[in-house]
Structure 1
């Protein structure tokens, strides 16, 4: 059975910068998922976000599968955005420095729509807030992994 992790832009910003405080965590997850035969997936949305400050040639594309944003993702994003915007209006979702939330809901809709995606990996705490609101309403088909935690902690492994 195919298993995969969708990696967001914040993951790549940390993974590709050895001086970033979360580089070791990002590198650990990258190696763990490769070793455990997970497909490493990047959305065309994350590629666009990354390329606003970096170059596509910096991404480890030979290790990644590219997931285009398709019609079914767009439909699901609309459902997610309604819930997130409603929660924000009702003050159940309070986001710092976030004018719009569509990219989070787009990425979540991709992870939720693709049966083979088990995890979504990000260091973005604001994104986690949106995930929690959506997951409490809909029970999403994937798990959010916070890059601030080491992979050994996340998966209950000994850190040798």
Structure 2
């Protein structure tokens, strides 16, 4: 069986055997807080960084990051200490069901497929931990899949 994702005018075919799909459970998601002249603040909000907060059967965009060491712009002051500078750029994929996030490598590959080399799934600790800021202007009408490297709050965790 396959999963098809429409990317602009291109149809991406993700050949995934049903047995390889994540089994369900919950994954952690974040939301956009505010946007200030090219900079987004994103954070946990009502997430659960310990066991996940959103059913993996949900279709949400993946929050992707390209950490290139970009310095924080002088005009930007975070609205709180939760939004530590992540030194990079943010973008989101089209909505993807969490059941396709079978591993961190699979999620990173989706970011690379959508945006190119150097892009990967954003991680809880890319900023301070509970939040981050970086260049971007991601959508504000949905939550995003984000992974955490030291807790079982990812769709690929049993």
Alignment TM-score, normalising by the size of structure 2? 0.27
Alignment TM-score, normalising by the size of structure 1? 0.27
Greater share of residues in strand: 2
